[in-house]
Amino acid sequence: MQPQFKDRSAQSKMLLVLALGSALGILPFTIYRFVQQDWYVAILDSIVVIGMSALFLYVYKTDDVKRASLVLILIALVANVSSFYLKGINQINWTYPAMLAAYYVMSPKKGMIVNFVMLSFYLPKLFVLLDFVSFATVIITIFITNILAYVFSSGLKNQEIILKKLASEDYLTSTGNRRSLDAAMNKLYKTLKNHDKIASIILLDLDHFKQVNDTYGHIKGDDVLVRLSELLMNFFNGKDEIFRYGGEEFLVICRNISKVKAYKLSEAFRVIVKNNIVIDKKQQTISLGVCEYIKEESIDEWIHRVDMALYQAKKQGRDRTISA
């Protein structure tokens, strides 16, 4: 099922709007060119309309923004340069929206490179067609447009990165939060359901953590959580698959790893925590549950099984790993 428009990324929305807007905007010119029997430009406009329409459908169905961005920019570049050489100086007006679009469907640096490649095709003919003042005016306005667009789009990209981080990371431990866990599990579930792959999850919990908060205060408790998350990220090589499940619980996604191997990893990590988190000369322990995905079970069923394994680990005395 295709995501709704409001649920798509900013880049996906921009591509859909640009593709559809370009197709609808150029269509009247296409009809006019055919009526005027301006065959070369009419055919060029037709190709652009068809290409943009196809691109709209492709993004709508697949949400593949990476490939679509490249195709859109290539269409815009070829169409603009071709129409300029076919119809002359008036077509230069189409350059500005095309250059602006490059910054919003690609990274700012790539957008600037593409635009200056486009400009290199214009320069020889502009130099011949225009007097010095007109030539300088066009070049300067294009340059200013690119600078402003670059600065503005760079700011938007940075804000987008910050917002994504705030939306997906736990503020205290810098591990993934429940929102990013849901997204990661849904993506993994599709892979496991449609392909012959394996995966396991590890759910761990700090033992007697309430006593730490009650005895030493929440600041010390937060320090323990941060230290645990650091050990997790070092041991499991990064933070993309590590999530704060709630309170003092963390969940680790182990792709392409069986329950047996995940159990061994869990036991090794349990020892690391015991040796590296010491509070008032007392070792801090953790309990862990391990569970491998079973074909056709739902995400909720999978998480419920690992939750029950963790429950059994605590019931049997804590400081241990139990496999579901």
**Is residue 317 helix, strand or coil?**
coil
For residue 324, CA distances in Å to 82, 103, 185, 262, 266 come to: 64, 50, 18, 11, 13
Residue tagged active-site, from 248, 267, 297, 301: 248
CA atoms within 13 A on the CB side of 146: 19
Which residues sit opposite 277 in a β-bridge? none
The Cα 125–Cα 84 span in angstroms is 9
Nearest to 319 by CA among 272, 258, 261, 279: 272
284/73 Cα distance (integer angstroms)? 56
How far is 7 from 10, CA to CA, in rounded Å? 9
Residues in CB range of 270: below 8 A, 6 or more apart: 285, 286, 288, 319, 320, 321
| Amino acid symbol at 30 | T
Q: Kindly state the tokens that stand for 59.
A: 């993004």
* Bridge partners, residue 244, by sequence: 250
- Residue 63 near residue 3 (C-beta atoms within 8 A): yes
> Do residues 44 and 79 make contact, with C-beta atoms less than 8 angstroms apart?
yes
Q: Is 292 a catalytic residue?
A: no
User: Hey, which residues does 278 pair with through a beta bridge?
Assistant: 283
Report yes or no: 84 and 120 within 8 Å, Cβ to Cβ.
Answer: no
Q: In whole angstroms, give the CA distance from residue 321 to residue 270.
A: 8
Cβ within 8 Å of residue 229, ≥6 positions away: 173, 174, 175, 239, 242, 244, 250
Catalytic machinery residues: 248
